[in-house]
Structure 1
Amino acid sequence: MLRLDDFQCFEDRDGCNRITHRVVFCKQCGQVHTDPWLTRDAARGLLAKAGASYGHCDPEERVAWVLSRVPGVRSVLDLGCGDGSLLGGFPPSLDRYGIDSDAHLVSIALKTHKKITFRHHDLEDAFEIPQADVIMLFHLLEHVTDPRNLLTRIRQAAAETTRLVVEVPILDRAIETQGPDLCGFFSIPHRTHFSRHTLDRMLSHCGWQVEQRTDLAGNGYRVLARRAEPVRQVAEPVQVERERRLALEYAEYRRNSIAAVCEILQDLPERCNIMIWGAGHHTEFLAALTPLFTPQRRFVIVDRDPLKTGMRIHGIPVLTPDAVPAEYWREGEDRILISSYTWQHSIYQGLVAKGTAPCRIFRLYP
């Protein structure tokens, strides 16, 4: 499906954070996954450095959804709870538990939400799973090395009446939700790239029967499941072929998107100074997939994410925009290239508000 050799994960680290990113399709079951996969330390480091590169949830919507579909809920457990924002949105009358692999985020959660129980634990390892009426996995399952193992362990710990909420991005809607973004659906920190069918089948295999399914406006597919007997399903050839065509359709769309960006970049002068706004994976994809970076061009990178400022990407320093003199935005001549699909419009508007001439701003997407 996809292969990138020597892909650098964010900052320069003498090559220790360079990976082979390969996405493959299983001809037996139709599942799409990343192989080889990151070591645990590499995966933790990647997510810790990602910071603002990845979207944030709407706790109010998720809380309302859970409460409306599981009336009478008295306790909730959030696996992959992050800084506790989601659990903080539930009524304080509920017993609320959160577990996360990121010690830093758990420390923030403990300071911010003192009446909620939080634990730091590597979710890849065996750990004691508290009993709860609802167990939630919001955009967690696609990240773990062995999602079947995690789902099976949750079932073993769950009560008969426990409900499981799982939300993941799905391949069925990749073109719709990801658009021409160079980063694309086959995200670097995602181990498993689910479709509606492959998620439902995995849940059934692990002893969870889906009761409700919801396609979300953004990049998500959410299900509510109850504990059931495991069902060992053999993937039918017709379904495997459907999954293969789904993956190939998106892969072709992404190749066309890359070609379109390369064509747009041809409008840049061969010799010029370029400020890149954005130090996330999008910039590394530009380096890996396009002819942007040449010895004849000089670069600097800016990013508002404090996790990224101060580092270097291929020797290029990453600054905070506040470190750039105000007159540069108004009077400078350098090109300013927006390295983001999701935030392109808001970054453009912010630059114009600083007094930057629109002719200096270079956008990669319509």
Structure 2
Amino acid sequence: MRRARKAARAPPSSAPAAAVLAVLTLAAVLAGRPGTAATAALDHGVPEPDTLAALGGILPPIVAENFDELVKAASATCEALPRQLLFPRTTAPQLPLTEVVQYTRRARRSHRVLSAHRTLRAPPGERVVLYVPGWWNTPADASSQAIVKALMTRHRSVLLLDTRLSFCRGYISAVSSINPLSQLLYSFVKNLHKKGHPMSSIHLIGFSLGAHVAGMTGKLVKKKLNATIGQITALDPARPCFARAEHRLERGDAEFVQVIHSSAGVLGIEEPLGHADVYVNGVPGKHPECEHKAISLECDHAQAWKLFAASAVNEKVLMGRQCATWSELLQNKCSGNETQLGYACRPDAHGMFLYKSRLKSKPAPAPQKPSRALRWPLAW
């Protein structure tokens, strides 16, 4: 009878189990993406495009609401790792196979980066614009296509560094590829320079991890060639593992560095890094487009590339006001002159700027039950 009564007692609080599940979930996200062994449990019938949105369907509300803090904790753990583990090498076996893709109005051509300068159709007088995607981004995904299509309204040719061989892997492994990938991009830039392209004509655009590749490439150009790249546009530079300045983007990496922060302090770095730092909806950015997502991290992170792409098509899209102090920015009360930012940002625009979304908040959609594929881990 006692055993029966004991068995009938209410189960202990599920909070520890929820926390364990959250940590395992976050570890899976950092280790790999859907389709890999590391995330086989999460992949169980879940569509690939929106990983963290899918996680919102399986995590308990208390965990989903604090997922930003879990990411910050994971980032702090990464910072404690030895530097030689995170940034260990300047060569990698996949480098000779890495390609740069050239888009023109008539065709798309892929070239091995090490020999691309010989076959690229890029007249020396033209501005060279090259986009470096982020973690698990591909030439065909939404971010890359949006950036390329927007830039094609301004340029006859747009280049994209295909980072799949280096970045389509676990996050720590991708971070350790930053140095070798930067060395590769530096070689490409150096060869273009030898063919007659002035450094001032080169504009590198990087999203997330790609922003740090652009920055490290700029450092190599300064160190080895005693020259400076014309411009770097950094779209929400990745924060996890990048608290130390020697291995990340910074102001001196180009003649003009513009940074667009959209997930400041979570997936993106919070502090100013460039000559012009644009904060989308403040610090941390809370975006009307993302507010009804159970986990908004990916949506927040994406606002940087979405706004930059939009600004290339319409220069009036990304208008912000200059902030006199960090305190003004934190209070979302910047009252300086309205300034054109994004693609059309002038090189003499220096300081911190606040951009506020014009989109009004929408009513929250009716809650939907997650599919069986999303519910099953909670039965553990």
Normalised-by-shorter TM-score class: under 0.3
Q: TM-score, with normalisation over the residues of structure 2?
A: 0.25
Higher strand share: 1
Higher helix share: 2
Q: TM-score, with normalisation over the residues of structure 1?
A: 0.25
